[in-house]
Structure 1
Amino acid sequence: MAAMSQTPFIAQATAARTAARELATLPRGRKDAALHAMADALASAAGDVLAANAVDVETARAEGTSQAMIDRLCLDTPRVDGMVQGLRDLAGLADPVGDVVRGFTTAAGVRISQVRVPFGVVGIIYEARPNVTADAAGICLKSGNAALLRGSSSAVNSNRAVVKALRSGLEEQGLNPDAVCLVEGDRTVTQEMMTARGLVDVLIPRGGAGLINAVVTGASVPVIETGTGNCHLFVDRSADQEMALQIMLNAKTQRPSVCNALETLLVHREIAEDFVPKAMAALGEAGVTVHGDESIQGLDGRIVPATPTEFDAEYLSLDLAARVVEGLEEALEHIRTHTSGHSETIITNDLVTANRFTAEVDAAAVLVNASSRFVDGGEFGFGAEIGISTQKLHARGPMGLLEMTSTKYVVVGVGQIRG
């Protein structure tokens, strides 16, 4: 590794690398005890975390931050309790480090095993959402990685309080607190982080399209790309319409500011005259504004005109784009054109149509007769998650413990040499 000037970030990353070496061989019992200690410390510090978060939220509101971003930023007692429980849940999961992915013996009698190992130092660059701070720290610790956490300035007070508690939990267990580091500073620090090859093993951006694109295009450190969520719901002609209404409402309104929330509704023309007014009534009662093109506006006067770019939008609010399609072919074409590759849903009772949809839609998750809100590490049983990867290399979909490991080959012989 080439020598780097000793800036505060380089010193912090170097300390994290030392902690990562210690974590790499730590037995599961020690890691699980640390996770419980981190959870206990976070629970004890809940008052401090909520007070710090209130300062961040007040500042965000004064700066005119959108309601969607404020929702992501805001913590309350149930959300802090969820962060605490997420750490405890991770302690109950199997440790992936040391798992043998495959093993075999060659004709020469050499035994080869592919074994899961930590990445080392994982850098996470994320916007708002201070719950990510605890989730990411816990996942990294359980998978044997040190975490460099670069949160946004909007959540700085919240993140400081959370990281202070997590580090105290590590210290209480006699572990190196530099396994969890909060990276602070101006934009030059972010640039340092993105180019710290040899100190940072992998970067994971989590946030809006601007942040993700900046990291993907500007980093020389390897990046696992998480994506925005322009999620579609196609209501097929054979759909159970009451089921479709319930799934649509849940996917759009249960928490509209997150990446697995519904953003575009596609309705089969054969049922549009019947289904669209029902959908508009239900969505209107829930406070959702529907933006539609000419194909759907004439079916209900509550639909406002949509600009062409809105079909590429991630609203993250109580807004929804909608259109009528001639059938499955046009629905597939629309999704191919506008998808962000996150989560796409069909409501149908036709098995052939469902099979075509799942086979032809190119996304990290494809759902049949279920809400896209299920596309989440916790719902999948992974514990907390680092994010949802929309790329196709190494990891795709919710990233839990397995996705935070690499592998190495262990080759064991008894003196064999290659002829």
Structure 2
Amino acid sequence: METLRQDDVGYDEAATSYHVHGTPVEVLRPADAGEVAEAVRSAVERGLEVGVRGGGHTPWSTNDGGVVIDLLRLDRIEVGDDRLVTVGGGAVWGSVADALAPHGLAISSGDTASVGVGGLTVGGGIGWLVRATGLAVDQLVGAEVVTVAGEIVRASANEHPDLFWGIRGGGGNFGIVTEFVFRARPLRGVVHGHLEFDPAELRSVLRALRDDLRRAPDEWTANLLTLPSFGPEMPPSLHVEVVWAGEDLDAARDASRALLGHPALRAGELAPGAYRDLLAGPPPEMPGPPPTMVDESDLVGRLDDDAIERIAAAHESLAPAVMMLRTLGGAYGRVAEDATAFAGRRAEAFLICAAFRAPGAPAEQISAAREIWAHAMAGVSVGCYGNFHPTRAPRVVEAMYPPSTRERLREVKRSWDPDNVFRGNHNVTPR
């Protein structure tokens, strides 16, 4: 097993997770599930905190004084019969899309090529195919899991079904998933468009997006993004990215007719493309000291006029801020609330907002921004999507899981991790 300690070349990079530098005793890079099990047993025997990295888009997979188990080398992707795809816990979604494209297949994934399959999937997995196929966990049919006891087990509807239920949205609370088995969907191509609107028309563009959403078939989804000014050459902007899961350009245009016919549309059109091309690269590094980001996210129950007014007013009050709204419904909404650990299936949209404040902004400014958002979302939010929430406060876990789901997750936790070893996450405590 590859082991990096503080005096080793490459340790500093390996100990850093999404710009957060930790000082673990060692970073372990196992080559298979057996070595993952060995790493877990060793950490538990020494009483060390365990961090798990299955990709890299989280600051929580490093620590100080513990062990980081990096699944980087578990990146095998194998396409089998009946559209079954086996993916290692260290693979990233760009590699998965590359492997599936020649077969005319796709798995509902994250939006960024470098996002890890493991972290996104166990958190649920909202992506460009969320209305066509559902969450990433809705395509999951089995998994290989290393438990806190250092055992390797299979989880599926027929094997350890309680564990299988828990890993589909319950995060990394129950073990380390070293292998995922998905059933991919046929997808030869997509229709894609990047539409730019007058940012002063946020409310009316949100209404147009809502109107298209409510009459569109499952193949259609869209993502609205606002950006503040980044200087004279980059004024504020408002964008809507549309994706149709298929190759029917006319159907995609018809489903998008409120957006395409909106008088505030400045530029953009729909065109055929490949699913792999939807997956973006990593965001660029910002020059200078990073601003303080006050991030919040919610699942919006109904995107009605009241909700749209609340969202737009909060965006104005929090300026400068980035806001993103992803449409839900379709296949996502036809899964029962208790079928997986991911709840919130009745939500019509997923919303995040990140307010920019000066580096080192005082706590009062941060609290004030959070209060603005909480007031706006009162009566609108029906939950929270943890994969986009940057804090691990108990209030976030409560928002992610309704009471009945939380209690069921605690039961699974008591069975599989009674001492809460796997706690570097949106933690569900065993008691």
TM-score, normalised with respect to structure 2: 0.29
Higher-Rg member (1/2): 1
Q: Which structure has more RCO (C-alpha within 8 Å, separation ≥ 6)?
A: 1
Higher strand content, 1 or 2: 2
